[in-house]
Structure 1
Amino acid sequence: MTNIFENCSYHSIYEPFLLNCTNTTEQCYLIRYVDTIQQLNFWLNTVIPIILLSIALILNIYFLFILVPEYIGMSDVVRKQYVFVLSRGVSMLTATSAELVIRCIPVPSIDYTFFFLFFIIDDVGFYTLLGSYVGSAVLLYLATVRPIFYSLRISARTIYLFAAGNLVGSVLLSITTAIFQAAVQAEGPFSCDVEHCQPIINVIVYSIIAISFIIPIFTLSFVLITLHFHKNRMGGIGSDTSAFRSARTRLAWTLFTFTLISLSEAIPDFYMVGMKIDSLMGTCMNFYRADHLVIPVIMNSFQILAWLVTVRYSSQTTKRFSRSIALIVDPLCGLLFDPRMRRRLLGHVSCLLIFLSPTETVKKFQVTYVYSCCGTNEEKAGGHS
């Protein structure tokens, strides 16, 4: 077989997989883009997301480490405000763990079932998270603007039912979108070709995602604007407390985080609605247009691009990069802007600083200080009795 790359000044390790692509005279030019796209896949789809997801995993574990004991010790009245906060924490941890497992554990075979499960795991945590955003915002609105209705009509059991409904709805929505997304990647219940089926599937999936994100973003914006006008209408009476300011700040950061996730989903999906990309990047069809596939590799949220004929892997680069950032921002905002979480965080930071302090005076009273800042209220109460 003639080596079409033998006269090229630039050589790539992927040349053996493209020797049959003889219907071009620009093979030396195109092979450079093959390496460029592969490097983008490696950095944007492997290295950077794994680093960010590892940070997110630590933050979310620490977030739940603080939240769960606090939640257990709350009364039912206070606990109502934190049901969806706990749901968000669990959703974040689930999504982060799933993303890391998918990247770090090799799979023996890649077929329709794999893609179907992959997309379900990939999406269910985020749809649950979006529902938790809406639930938290609605509860904040009711507790602030309609406090009597919130106290008398909204019980902890009611909120638990809504949280369970959010989970069930997220699973059903994820299954629906996963059926279509997996069909684009592999043979399954129905065949989906690049020319006719794939653009239609892109439109369907994009429409579902757009509706799923438009409803929460309008809800969050409405609640934030309403709270602002409520503060002005009340003239600062009862609405300028530290708790109220913290609630508005958390909601503003929630809207920011949600917008970040929305953009990470919407921009690549909108870009890919009209795209027709073969799922095997090693085919000659894609090699002939490799110079036009750099942006799709970055923006592509659904198609599976691979350079080796026998190995295919996900290249949801932009979505995962932005999602990784969102998975860091959300628990960080909770730790910094929730009064209960911030108090525990500052206590742990104080303990750490005490242990790291080089002064002999601090070391002398280290045990007393650590006990006072890290011990629970029950432990400290027992110590004084």
Structure 2
Amino acid sequence: MHDIRAIRENPAAFDAALARRGLSGLSSQILALDEARRAKILAAETAQAEQNRASKDVGAARARGDDAEFERLRALVAQTKADIARLTEEAAAEDAALRDLLMTIPNLPLADVPDGADEAGNVELRRWGSPRAFDFAPKEHYDIAGVKPGMDFAMAAKLSGARFVVLRGAVIRVHRALAQFMLDTHVNDHGLTETWTPVLVKEEAMYGTNQLPKFAEDSYQTTNGWWLIPTSEVTLTNMAAGEVLEEAALPIRMTAHTQCFRSEAGSAGRDTAGMLRQHQFEKVEMVSITTPGTSLAEHDRMTGCAEAILQKLGLPYRVMVLCTGDMGFGATKTHDLEVWLPGQDTYREISSVSVCGDFQARRMNARFKAPGGKPEFVHTLNGSGLAVGRCLIAVLENGQQADGSVELPAALHPYLGGRTRISADGALV
């Protein structure tokens, strides 16, 4: 959420930043609501002062036996009391309208974020690894002979419908190994604290990390009001909600492996084959809570943590800086990692690492305090480290062989009991 004081002080700069995200003229609407709210608050305060004076005068009029003045003042007190209640209610309504509006406005992009309308405006930062040269036509993951026995979309459709999958045998063993490998790497090599969190959260947690109110249709809500998390960014980040942390405790760096749930409301017709875009999936998430002065360095560090997973697995990838038109709602800058998928002959996103500044912290009232200083808002960051299902796809497609078997990355062998590949008939050998 945005700082109303900053908008008051420089509405032109606010509008210019939002214009880069395709929005215009919002400061006038915001400031009109703000002015109306402040006017009602001032009027209520003025009326309260008038009521206080009149209340004192009522007693004086009664003491001197001035019945007419006593009755006039008593009526004035009653009317003023009613006016105060009305003005307070109207101020609260204006305040709620202002907050609701601010909740729907995306974060402002940093100056070095490239301008662009959509993903075509993203800028490549670097590449790692070279796509393998196949001496046969590589297949997509679900068409590889050794994978087919362990990836059952028909059974998932019977149980749950489209965009679900049942994994079994060798394929689920590799999926589980990937998650364990990611967690171990982040904990042992990157110093993140492993955390286990619920996948059902209260509504205020979804507001805190800006899934609500704007993107309600992208998530699932239970009949008793809980929301299913789209990523553990929601739970990990909200651990700081309402807190005043000591500066010495920062940065806080966490990682969690959870089930995630997304309705994919805006993706009709996209990636309908295979398990690239599912309603239920698993991610190993990274979240950092930092001071304002260290968040950009932390963004680069977190990007490096995600890259390390791909490098250890030997998967070619590229790092993209997202443009203003492709960046997420809460981000002020985002790096996307795109892994090479030979079955599609293209790079596809496997991780987004975003710095949000104090945007989420204001929504959550998450602050820190230096010794002797005043509380100020923390900065929050989040990123996939990585999306487990998409990483499975990349491992299977990049390791596929002409006979339908799959050679698995050496980094996974210890997690698979020393087994090194999936045979053409689907066995882990």
Same fold (TM over 0.5): no
> Structure 1 length as normaliser, TM-score?
0.26
Which structure is higher in strand share? 2
Q: Which has the larger radius of gyration?
A: 2
